[in-house]
Amino acid sequence: MSIPAQSSGTPDTELDDPEDRLRRFATIWSRAIFPSTATSLTRAEFEQHLLPLARGLSDILHARPFDAAPAAEVGAALVAAHCTDPDALSSTLGVVDSYLVLYCGSNGVTPLPTEDSRARCARIQHALASGFTRALRERTLSEQEAIARSALTARSDAERALHATEARFRAVFKDAAIGIADLDGNVLEVNDTLTRMFGGLEHHVRSHKVNEWVHPEDSPYVWKYYEELVRGEREHYRVEKPYYRNDGTVLWTNLTVSLLRDAEGKPQYQLALMEDTTERRLLNLRLRYEATHDALTGLPNRTLFFERLEKALAADDSSRFGLCYLDLDGFKAINDSLGHASGDRLLVEVADRLQSCATAPGEMVARLGGDEFVALTTGPDTETEVAELACRILGVLGTPVRLDGRELTVRGSIGVVEGPAGERNAAEVLRSADITMYRAKSAGGNRFELADDEADARAITRHGLTTALPAALERGEFFIEYQPLVHLDDGTVHGAEALVRWCHPQHGVLGPDRFIPLAEHTGLIVPLGRWVLEESVRQANFWQERHTDGGPLRINVNLSPTQLHHPRLVAETVDVLERSGLEPGALCLEVTESALIGADEDLLKPLRQLAEMGVDIALDDFGTGYSNLANLRRLPVSVLKLDRSFTLGMQQHPADPVDLKIVEGIVSLAHSLDLAVTVEGVETGAQAEQLRKLGCDTAQGWYYARPGAPDRIHSLLLADAV
């Protein structure tokens, strides 16, 4: 207990006024206990607050009869003023003991005897202390009660909140499977849903550590994330992960793993939340299967094939690919004659057979649609493998298919493309294969052809040329060059062959080999051929009018097979001749040998009519079509044009004796049938001399003149004259 200053037994002599003395007592009291109060009052305010209490003590000291009990209220008042510290009580008792009688013993009315006042002071202290203690206990009790009450309220509040959270938690994770494991992977807790998900045996789930659930289809990241999480470098991860159930079947999950830390933030547990995605995945797989497979044959379809091809083409530099593009020959005829149901069964059979050809790893067969199939092979050795694959395919197609009690022979044409990965894209490869397949088809089918860039480029322009042909004729993009035909015995010009050209706006001048087959294919050859006939007959007529000397110049015009079949061939030719005024004997129509092989009377009739009118018919390219010489007798032809291949044999020195014998034989046979013989492709004087000796009548070739503009015939005639 500390008693503040002024501990002398004498109060200040100047303080005669009892009120001043009382205030002085309050000051001393307040100085003694202020440091140990918990009041929010200032020191001066606190002193003011003690003043009535001091007055109360003074009154008790002087009261008659003396009763110390009211001092208890002063004690209680101290507690009420937050002077609850035990030091506050002892300091108060000390102040009362030392100063109450000293400053308040004489209140100016009835001075107390000293003994009496000391006794009274002691009792006042006692009452004050008990009042203080009681008040303090009551206050503590009520405080505790308030704490307890609020604790109670708080707990139920918290419980209510917790309950709500839990309900929400349960609602959110009702069907979720949850498991907790330590950082070594030991499974500590799993809920029922998780156990059910894994097949129903809790032991099965708990007997493995988390990091033992490895599956071959795990994503490459899953174990990396796992390691990071257990090291505390990652708070959570989410992956799609497969597991084995206890019966060995596969469970697919959406797995979310979170790291749980302790109060200090140290990694402690891992919490796994799993969602069973097996069904959804199966559905997705099924949808994907349907989207990537052909419904009829079950083979991969165009979509899947493109995916694989793109993958093969994107592979690293050492790998190659080989592609067989198959189109069945004559499938449309089978479909039309036997019906679509039979056609479908045939396709299924073909698909099965194809599948049996491509069973090695890296090989696949797909149906692109209709009767088009592809077989793909990948790896380092596709150069040899792809041809073998194509042979195998043609081989399996070779066995007849039994359909509705008949045996059908299925054949196909295959375009083969092979090459290193990384050079072309899938569309380019497929286009090349398609073009090559058409080449195989037009070469007769039932075969495979290898793609070659030049052929591809030609085919690509072929398509463009075909579509541009009709407009080209209207725009007058065609023109004719004339190549002289020369008498071998005297070198005079006998006539000229009209050879058509196309002055294409982009590709420049194109030879007939580039567009005549296209014009034949589309039927445009009929109007084009009519134009060539008109134009060259007009030209021949012009020559005849200008150059009457040296005999009439003749004109040779080529006829394509399609023109031969045209019903108005005779009528139109007659019309053209009549309008130009050229006599029929000045016109020679050249028909290629192959068009007349096996021709029946119907086909020969128009030619016979023209021949009877005096028009010459020449059998062009003779020697390339294996025509039976004995047959020549029944054809309405008057000229044989020996193909350039015969003259080629005469280019070497000495000339091939066999060729010479053949030509000699043909010439004598032709002459015995009253046919004139013209030779094509004479390029040297030596050839010309040989052919003359062999008895050929006329010749044509670069030795005399290349095909050229019509006026060049004049200079040739002039040269002859010289």
Residues of this chain that bind ligand C2E (CB under 6 A): 483, 498-500, 511-513, 516, 529, 532, 558-560, 590, 620-621, 644, 680-683, 700-702, 707
Residues 6 or more apart in contact with residue 225 via CB below 8 angstroms = 234, 237, 239, 257
Residue 702 interacts, among Mg ion, ligand C2E, none and using kind-specific CB cut-offs from 5 to 8 Å, with ligand C2E
From candidates 92, 377, 536, 558, binder to Mg ion by CB under 5 A: 558
* Spatial CA neighbour of 362 closest among 328, 398, 322: 322
**Residue 622 Cβ vs ligand C2E, minimum distance, rounded to whole Å:** 10
Contacts of Mg ion in 97-126 (CB under 5 A): none
What, of ligand C2E, Mg ion, none, does residue 555 touch, CB below 5 to 8 Å by kind? none
Structural tokens at position 529: 């051929």
Which of ligand C2E, Mg ion, none is residue 710 near (CB under 5 to 8 Å by kind)? none
C-alpha to C-alpha distance for 680 and 698, rounded to whole angstroms: 9
Does residue 345 come out as left (phi exceeding 0), alpha (psi in the -120 to 50 range) or beta?
alpha
Part of the chain binding Mg ion (CB under 5 A), chosen from 426-434, 569-577, 617-625, 629-637:
617-625
Stretch that binds Mg ion, among 162-170, 477-485, 583-591, 626-634 (CB under 5 A): 583-591
Least distance in angstroms from the C-beta of 701 to Mg ion: 11
How far is the C-alpha of 200 from the C-alpha of 507, rounded, in Å?
Answer: 76
Of 521, 520, 501, give the one whose Cα is nearest residue 511.
501
Binding of residue 481 to Mg ion (CB under 5 A): no
With CB cut-offs between 5 and 8 Å by kind, which of Mg ion, ligand C2E, none does residue 681 bind?
ligand C2E
| Residue 93's binding partner out of Mg ion, ligand C2E, none, with CB under 5 to 8 Å set by partner kind | none
- Residue 456, interface with Mg ion (CB under 5 A)? no
Q: Is the backbone of residue 160 left (phi > 0), alpha (psi -120 to 50) or beta?
A: alpha
Q: Nearest distance from residue 684's CB to ligand C2E, in Å?
A: 9
Residue of minimal Cβ distance to Mg ion: 590
Distances (CA, A) of 336 to 333, 344, 408, 445: 5, 12, 14, 20
Q: Closer to ligand C2E at the Cβ: 362 or 701?
A: 701
Is residue 593 a contact residue for Mg ion (CB under 5 A)?
Answer: no
Residues 492 and 722: their CA atoms lie apart, in Å, by: 11
When the beta carbons of 379 and 649 are compared against ligand C2E, the nearer one is: 649
Sheet bearing 250-261, strands edge to edge: 187-190, 177-182, 267-276, 250-261, 236-244
State which residue, 541 or 558, has the beta carbon closest to Mg ion: 558
Q: Which is nearer to ligand C2E, 255 or 642 (CB)?
A: 642
Number of residues that bind Mg ion (CB under 5 A): 4
Residue among 544 and 560 whose Cβ is closer to ligand C2E: 560
Q: How far is the CB of 617 from Mg ion (least distance, A)?
A: 12
Give least dist CB 473 to ligand C2E, A: 12
CA angle 507, 511, 512 (to 5 degrees): 125
Cis upstream peptide for 654 (omega within 30°): yes
> CA 249 to CA 199: how far, in whole Å?
9
Shortest spacing between CB 614 and ligand C2E, in angstroms: 21
Q: Which is nearer to Mg ion, 33 or 595 (CB)?
A: 595
Q: Which is nearer to ligand C2E, 389 or 500 (CB)?
A: 500
560's contact among Mg ion, ligand C2E, none, with CB below 5 to 8 A by partner kind, is ligand C2E
Judged by CB under 5 A, the residue of 325, 620, 675, 691 near Mg ion is 620
Using H for helix, E for strand and C for coil, what is the string for 641-690? EECHHHHHCCCCCCCCHHHHHHHHHHHHHHHHCCCEEEECCCCCHHHHHH
Based on CB atoms, which residue is closest to Mg ion, 304 or 596? Answer: 596
Q: Of how many residues is the chain composed? A: 722
Among Mg ion, ligand C2E, none, partner that 484 touches (CB below 5 to 8 angstroms by kind): none
If you write DSSP's letter for every residue of 60-86 in order, what string do you get?
HHH-SS---TTHHHHHHHHHHTT--SH
CA dist 222 and 231 (Å) reads 14
| 329 interacts with Mg ion by CB under 5 A | no
Q: Give the nearer residue to Mg ion in terms of CB position, either 177 or 691.
A: 691
Stretch that binds Mg ion, among 379-387, 586-594, 670-678, 708-716 (CB under 5 A): 586-594
Residues 393, 375: Cα–Cα separation, whole Å: 9
To Mg ion, the closest distance from the beta carbon of 620 in angstroms equals 4
User: Shortest distance, CB of residue 578 to ligand C2E, whole angstroms?
Assistant: 21
- Judged by beta carbon distances under 5 to 8 A according to partner kind, the member of Mg ion, ligand C2E, none in contact with residue 707 is ligand C2E
Is 590 a binding residue for Mg ion by CB under 5 A? The answer is yes
Q: Least separation, in Å, of the C-beta of 514 and ligand C2E?
A: 9
| Closer residue to ligand C2E in complex, CB, 449/620 | 620
Which partner in ligand C2E, Mg ion, none is near 616 (CB below 5 to 8 A by kind)? none
CB of 603 to Mg ion, least distance (A): 19
CA dist list (Å): 478 to 469, 499, 502: 10, 10, 4
Q: What is the largest CA-CA distance in the chain?
A: 188
Stretch that binds Mg ion, among 3-11, 555-563, 657-665, 696-704 (CB under 5 A): 555-563
Closest to 672 (Cα-Cα) out of 624, 699, 632, 644: 632
Least distance (Å) between residue 680 CB and Mg ion: 5
User: Tokens in use for 553?
Assistant: 């110049």
**CB atoms closer than 10 angstroms to residue 308:** 20
- Strand 363-369: give its sheet, edge to edge: 363-369, 372-379, 320-329, 411-420, 447-450
CB nearer ligand C2E, residue 177 or residue 699: 699
CB contact at 8 A, 86 and 33: no
CB of 572 to ligand C2E, least distance (A): 14
Distance CA 107, CA 96 (A): 16
Pick between residue 92 and residue 558 the one whose CB is nearest to ligand C2E: 558
Q: Which of ligand C2E, Mg ion, none does 58 bind, CB closer than 5 to 8 A by kind?
A: none
- Shortest Å distance, C-beta 384 to ligand C2E: 37
CB of 419 or CB of 701, closer to ligand C2E: 701
User: Based on CB atoms, which residue is closest to Mg ion, 107 or 624?
Assistant: 624
CB of 590 to ligand C2E, least distance (A): 6
CA distances from 653 to 379, 647, 656, 691, 694 (A): 50, 12, 8, 14, 16
For 236-289, give the DSSP string: EEEEEEEEE-TTS-EEEEEEEEEEEE-TTS-EEEEEEEEEE-HHHHHHHHHHHH
Asked if 350 and 372 touch (Cβ cutoff 8 Å), the reply is no
Closer CB to ligand C2E, residue 218 or residue 477? 477
User: Least distance from C-beta 374 to ligand C2E, angstroms?
Assistant: 36
With 0-12 / 13-18 / 19 or more C-beta atoms within 10 angstroms meaning exposed / middle / buried, residue 466 is middle
Say how far apart CA 480 and CA 500 lie, in whole Å.
Answer: 4
Burial of residue 711 (number of CB atoms within 10 Å: 0-12, 13-18, 19+)? exposed
How near is the Cβ of 702 to ligand C2E at its closest, in Å?
4
| Residue number, 418 or 621, with CB nearest to Mg ion | 621
Residues engaged in binding Mg ion (CB under 5 A): 558, 590, 620-621
